[in-house]
Each structure stands twice: as C-alpha cells, then as structure tokens.
C-alpha cells in the first residue's frame, strides 16, 4: 500500500463535481474532495460530509 498524507479537505466547487461520484466510504452522495499527497502525486478521493469529518478527526 502506498503511504499517503492528508493534504486538504475541500468542498466541491461545481455542480458537475457534485453529480459525478458517491462517497467511497459509505455510498452517500459525495460533497467533499479529500486530497492526499504521496510520493510524486496527489490523490483525490470523494467523501460525504460525515466521512470527511471522520477523516479530519482521525
């Protein structure tokens, strides 16, 4: 598994983003972009408010 570091959690900035994905944690509609930095790359995952908050607090 690739080591990744939480970089930022941002709200979606367009309705297109809102309609494009579901939360990968629970399957609810996603509202947040969670960015991780890894060696040489940024990974963006989509989460709902609840799961994004859980990530922030972990």
- Binding positions for Zn ion, rule: CB under 5 A: 23, 25-26, 28, 48, 51
Q: How far is the CB of 40 from Zn ion (least distance, A)?
A: 28
Question: Which DSSP category does 44 fall into?
Answer: E
Q: How far is the CB of 16 from Zn ion (least distance, A)?
A: 20
- In terms of Cα–Cα distance, which of 55, 7, 31, 12 is closest to 47? 31
Q: Which is nearer to Zn ion, 26 or 44 (CB)?
A: 26
Q: How far is the CB of 53 from Zn ion (least distance, A)?
A: 10
- Contact indicator for 10, 18 with CB cutoff of 8 Å: no
């Amino acid at each position: 598994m690739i080591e990744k570091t939480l970089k930022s959690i941002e709200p979606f900035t367009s309705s297109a983003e809102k309609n494009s994905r579901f939360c990968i944690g629970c399957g609810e509609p996603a509202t947040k972009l969670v960015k991780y930095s890894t060696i040489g790359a940024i990974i963006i995952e989509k989460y709902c408010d609840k799961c994004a908050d859980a990530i922030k607090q972990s």
